[in-house]
């Protein structure tokens, strides 16, 4: 996907770069990748190349970071990516059951996109909310849902479908 960063997005980039000493603009890489992903839903090679050009670093320096951190998507995902904690404490209170339920409800396997393009889901590691499990989050603002039950998941998915229709 070829991208053209908008003026407001470039303004945000410029603000981020001011947080670091001169010559240390590479520190802005993670915050900027988050901004790009929030805008486009994922990081295309073209988007990463343009980030590299903006920060005056080599494209490989962007790729190696984007591939290291699990929050960055290197291929298109659903409009809403449901990320369910799959680590120990959440599993003690039923996270595996919730993941199975989401798979059944959406009818797609982990990482796949529903045919309407609305949803993807995946298991992620401990989200630091172990007292309120099972938990899930939805980017780009990482809205947080806790103490999940099958009923709450159904309600959430229905709400998101409606939200997508009204927009």
Partner 1 sequence: MARKLLLAHIDVPGIHTFDVYRQKGGYRAVEKALKSMSPDDVVEEVKKSGLRGRGGAGFPTGMKWGFLAKPEGVPRYLVCNGDESEPGTFKDRFLMTYIPHLLIEGMIVSSYALGAHTSYIYIRGEMMPQIRIVEKAIAEAKAAGFLGKNILGTGYDLEIHVQPGGGAYICGEETALLESLEGERGNPRIKPPFPAVAGLYGCPTVVNNVESIAATVPIVNDGGEEYAKIGIERSTGTKLISAGGNLVRPGVYEIEMGLSMEEFIYSEEYCGGIANGRRLKAVVAGGSSVPILPTHLALKTAKGEPRLMTYESLADGGFVTGTAMGSGGFIAFDEDQCIVRNTLNFTRFYHHESCGQCSPCREGTGWMEKVLHKIEYGYGDMSDIDLLWDIQKNIDGNTICPLGDAAAWPVASAIRHFREEFEWHILQPEEAQTRNFGLVSEGVMNPE
Contact 42, 77 (CB under 8 A): yes
Please identify, using beta-carbon distances, which residue of 19 and 107 lies nearer to partner 1. Answer: 19
Strand order through the sheet with 143-145: 119-124, 80-85, 136-138, 143-145
Q: Which is nearer to partner 1, 15 or 154 (CB)?
A: 15
Per CB under 8 A, the list member of 5, 13, 17, 29 interacting with partner 1 is 29
In the complex, minimum distance from the CB of residue 120 to partner 1, in angstroms, rounded to a whole number: 15
Q: Name the one range near partner 1 by CB under 8 A: 1-9, 103-111, 141-149, 152-160.
A: 141-149
| Binding status of residue 140 toward partner 1 by CB under 8 A | yes
Site string for partner 1, 74-103 (x = CB under 8 A): ---------x--xxxx-xxx----------
- Interface residue with partner 1 among 2, 7, 8, 21 (CB under 8 A) is 21
How many angstroms separate the CA atoms of 139 and 149, rounded?
Answer: 20
List binders of partner 1 among 47-76 (CB under 8 A). Answer: 55, 57, 61, 64-65, 68-72
End-to-end CA distance of the chain: 23
| Binding of partner 1 by 124 (CB under 8 A) | yes
**Three-state secondary structure call for residue 138:** strand
DSSP per position, 39-106: HHSS--HHHHHHHHHHHT--HHHHHHHHHHSTT--SS---SEEEEEE-SHHHHHTTHHHHHHHHHHHH
How far apart CA 37 and CA 89 sit, in angstroms, is: 29
The answer to the question of residue 130 lying near partner 1 (CB under 8 A) is yes
Give the interface with partner 1 as residue ranges (CB under 8 A): 19, 21, 24, 26-31, 33-34, 55, 57, 61, 64-65, 68-72, 83, 86-89, 91-93, 124-133, 137, 139-144
């Amino acid at each position: 996907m070829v991208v053209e960063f908008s003026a407001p997005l470039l303004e945000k980039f410029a603000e981020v770069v001011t947080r670091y000493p001169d010559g240390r603009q590479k520190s802005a890489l993670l915050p900027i990748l988050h901004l790009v992903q929030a805008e486009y839903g994922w990081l295309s090679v073209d988007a990463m190349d343009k980030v590299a050009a903006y920060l005056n670093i080599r494209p490989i320096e962007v790729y190696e970071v984007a591939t290291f951190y699990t929050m960055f998507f290197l291929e298109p995902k659903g409009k809403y990516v449901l990320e369910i904690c799959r680590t120990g404490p959440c599993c003690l209170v039923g996270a595996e059951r919730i993941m199975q339920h989401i798979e059944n409800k959406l009818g797609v396997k982990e990482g796949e996109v529903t045919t309407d393009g609305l949803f993807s889901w995946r298991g992620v590691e401990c989200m630091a909310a172990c007292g309120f499990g099972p938990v899930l989050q939805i980017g780009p603002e990482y809205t947080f849902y806790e103490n999940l039950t099958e009923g709450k998941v159904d309600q959430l998915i229905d709400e998101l479908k409606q939200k997508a229709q009204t927009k």
